[in-house]
Amino acid sequence: MISKNDCILLLTELQENGIDIGDKILKVLKSRTLPMDVLQFINSKRQLDLTSFYEKLRKSYNAKKSKLYINIVKEETNTDEVIQTLSSYALQAILYSKTARDSQMFLKHARVREVNLALAKYFQDFDMSICNELMKLIKTDMIACETISGRREYTA
């Protein structure tokens, strides 16, 4: 997901574009975790590529064109499905990165490196534990993005 440094960078970009960010940077620096309201603020002023990407996955699922979204949300555990889901996720993220404002930052936020490392490890020792944990992390990221974009209600 998005790091504190990335959040500060995005806030600085907003400020350079004339948007009043108030004390949001200070709030990020003082917090142990990334404040959800700051992410909501950033996303409302400049939609995050990651939220757009997850929205695209959800719309593809709703149009019955892809099972990728639902496989992540329901935390698929069948080995073949998990491997296919992670592989498809990485490919879709790479394809989406061509339209992202900052493709490198997007690929980092989408955890593409982590997905590829998990898949490489699986094909080395056939241990699914890292792949399963990564599926949970991606689901958490997806839920967080849906929350900051207003699709889900935030519960602290």
Strands (DSSP E) found in 30-118: none
Asked if 7 contacts 42 with a C-beta cutoff of 8 angstroms, the reply is yes
Average pLDDT over the chain, rounded to whole? 93
Confidence of residue 4 (pLDDT cuts 50, 70, 90): very high
Give yes or no for residue 156 having a pLDDT over 60.
Answer: no
CA distance 31 to 33: 5
Neighbours of 125 (CB within 10 A): 9
Tokens (6 digits) for 3: 């790091």
Q: Average of pLDDT values for 83-112?
A: 97
Tens of pLDDT, residue by residue over 25-80, are 999 999 999 999 999 999 999 999 999 999 999 999 999 999 999 999 998 889 99
Give yes or no for residue 155 having a pLDDT over 70.
Answer: no
The whole-model pTM stands at 0.89
